[in-house]
Amino acid sequence: MSYTETIGSRTYRFADLKTLLAKASPQRSGDQLAGVAAASEEERVAARMALAQVPLRTFLNEALIPYESDEVTRLVIDDHSPQAFAEISHLTVGDFRNWLLSSTTDADALTRIAAGLTPEMVAAVSKLMRNQDLIAAARKRPVITRFRNTVGLPGHMSVRLQPNHPTDDVKGIAASMLDGLMYGCGDAMIGINPASDNLAAITRLLLMIDDFRLRYQVPTQSCVLTHVTNTIAAIEKGAPVDLVFQSIAGTEKANAGFGISLALLQEAYEAGLSLNRGTVGNNLMYFETGQGSALSADAHFGVDQQTCEVRAYAVARKFNPFLVNTVVGFIGPEYLYDGKQITRAGLEDHFCGKLLGVPMGCDICYTNHAEADQDDMDNLLTLLGVAGINFIMGIPGADDVMLNYQSTSFHDALYVRDVLGLRRAPEFEEWLESMQITDARGALLSASPHQPLLEGANDWMGTV
- The one-letter code for the residue type at 109 is A
What is the C-alpha separation between 307 and 62, in angstroms, rounded? 14
Q: Does residue 184 contact residue 432 with C-beta atoms inside 8 Å?
A: yes
Q: What is the DSSP letter of 443?
A: P
The CA-atom distances, in angstroms, between 347 and each of 33, 139, 308, 396, 442 are: 22, 11, 16, 24, 27
* DSSP letters for 35-51: T-S-SSHHHHHHHHHHH
Q: Are 367 and 333 in contact (CB under 8 A)?
A: yes
Please provide the DSSP assignment of 141-208 as one string. ----EESSSEE--TTB-EEEE----TT--HHHHHHHHHHHHHTT--SSEEEE--S---HHHHHHHHHH
Q: Is the pLDDT of residue 450 over 80?
A: no
Residue 213 sits at the vertex; the CA angle it makes with 185 and 390, to the nearest 5 degrees, is: 35
Q: pLDDT tens digit string along 368-417?
A: 999 999 999 999 999 999 999 999 999 999 999 999 999 999 999 999 99
Q: Can you point out the beta strands (E) in 349-423?
A: 360-363, 391-394, 399-400, 405-406
Cβ–Cβ under 8 Å, residues 20 and 58: no
- Strands 150-151 and 145-146, by their bridges, are antiparallel
How would you class 258 by CB atoms within 10 Å of its CB: exposed for 0-12, middle for 13-18, buried for 19 or more?
A: middle
Question: Is the CB of residue 360 less than 8 Å from the CB of residue 354?
Answer: yes
Question: Are 362 and 326 in contact, with CB atoms under 8 Å apart?
Answer: yes
For a pLDDT cut of 90, what percent of the chain falls above it? Answer: 95
Task: Read off the pLDDT of each residue in 357-362 and give the average, rounded to a whole number.
Answer: 98
Using a cut of 0.95, tell me whether the model's pTM lies above it: yes
What are the distances in angstroms from CA 11 to CA 14, 39, 189, 263? 10, 14, 52, 46
**Which residues, including other chains, have CB under 8 Å from residue 103's CB and lie 6 or more apart?**
none
- Per-state percent for the chain, helix, strand, coil, to nearest 5: 50, 15, 40
Q: Per residue in 28-65, pLDDT tens?
A: 999 999 999 999 999 999 999 999 999 999 999 999 99
pLDDT band for position 89 (cuts 50, 70, 90): very high
Residues 6+ apart with CB under 8 A from 410: 159, 179, 180, 183, 184, 185, 394, 395, 396
pLDDT tens digits, 116-139:
999 999 999 999 999 999 999 999
Q: Which DSSP symbol is given to 86?
A: G
Question: Does residue 448 register a pLDDT over 80?
Answer: no
What is the average pLDDT score of the chain? 96
Residue 226 has what pLDDT? 97
Identify the bridge partners of residue 207 per DSSP, sorted by sequence position: none
* Exposed / middle / buried, residue 391 (Cβ in 10 Å: 0-12, 13-18, 19+): buried
Phi, psi of 84 (to 5 degrees): -70, -30
Confidence grade of residue 238 (pLDDT, cut at 50, 70, 90):
very high
